[in-house]
Structure 1
Amino acid sequence: MEERKYLTTWRKYIPVIRLHLKRSLTEEQSFKLNITDFESAGDRGKSGYTFSLQMENGKVINNISGSAVARDLYEALKTDETIKSMIQDKAIKISVGKSFVFSIKTTHISSFKPEETAG
């Protein structure tokens, strides 16, 4: 199992992802990825490059162990200081579909804590 073969590819996209992540605070964002960037990194064949990556407070909350593309994206995101600070206190869903469109949807995590009622 080759490790991190998509990391370099994702790092090329970091400036674009950063921009869309910022904009996703107001509305869902999407942009088309260049499939040849990924095919040259590793051929996924029929399984394709589709995945869904869900994060809360900068931590992955869904299972991405079966997707090298998703794992490497997460690695690229968490090593970028600007993105790291942007994804704190937020719930973020990133997905790539069959048409190779990268989508980011961000929602704020409520920091509201109900007060304890003293009896």
Structure 2
Amino acid sequence: MEQRTYLATWKKYIPVIRLHLKKSLTEDQSFKLNITDFESAGDRGKSGYTFNIQMENGKVTNNISGSAVARDLYEALKGDETIKAMLQDKSVKISVGKTFMLSIKTVHLSIFK
């Protein structure tokens, strides 16, 4: 069983992520994460905490297997029914950069494929 080092940390952020996810339907969103929350959960050292998660209909479409921070965020998102509903019929990109800014971009998927 793999360690879910950052899951508890991400769960603290779920209410904020839910709010920004909803707002991202009209404009891109970003907010600053508290670096201390993540450093106390696990030391990423030089590799840092930066990642991108690309999702369509709530399913990850890029490879996040190399990032425990990203995998645990996805687990936290999947565990929230409200967020799961919001992710349906949408393409969502969530990323965290070097400045610890979490960004959310949402695009509605066309029903005409």
Q: How does 1:44-55 map to 2 (within 5 A)?
A: 44-55=44-55
- 1:23 matched to 2:23: yes
Q: How does 1:1-119 map to 2 (within 5 A)?
A: 3-113=3-113
Letter in 1 for 2:8: T
What is the TM-score when the length of structure 2 is the normalising length?
Answer: 0.98
What residue ranges of structure 2 are gaps of 5+ in the alignment? Answer: none
Alpha-carbon RMSD across the aligned residues, in angstroms, is 1.1
SS in 2 for 1:27: coil
**Partners of 2:84 and 2:58 in 1: CA distance:** 7
What residue ranges of structure 1 are gaps of 5+ in the alignment? Answer: 114-119
**Partners of 1:98 and 1:15 in 2: CA distance:** 23
Per the TM alignment, residue 61 of structure 1 is displaced from its structure 2 partner at its CA by 0.2
SS in 1 for 2:102: strand
SS in 1 for 2:103: strand
Per the TM alignment, residue 3 of structure 1 is displaced from its structure 2 partner at its CA by 1.2
Letter in 2 for 1:25: L
How many aligned positions are there? 113
**Partners of 1:3 and 1:51 in 2: CA distance:** 18
Identity over the aligned pairs, expressed in percent?
A: 82
What is the TM-score when the length of structure 1 is the normalising length?
Answer: 0.93
Q: In terms of Rg, which structure is larger?
A: 1
Letter in 1 for 2:98: K
**Partners of 1:31 and 1:85 in 2: CA distance:** 22
Show structure 1 runs of 4+ deviating over 6 A: none
**Partners of 1:82 and 1:20 in 2: CA distance:** 13
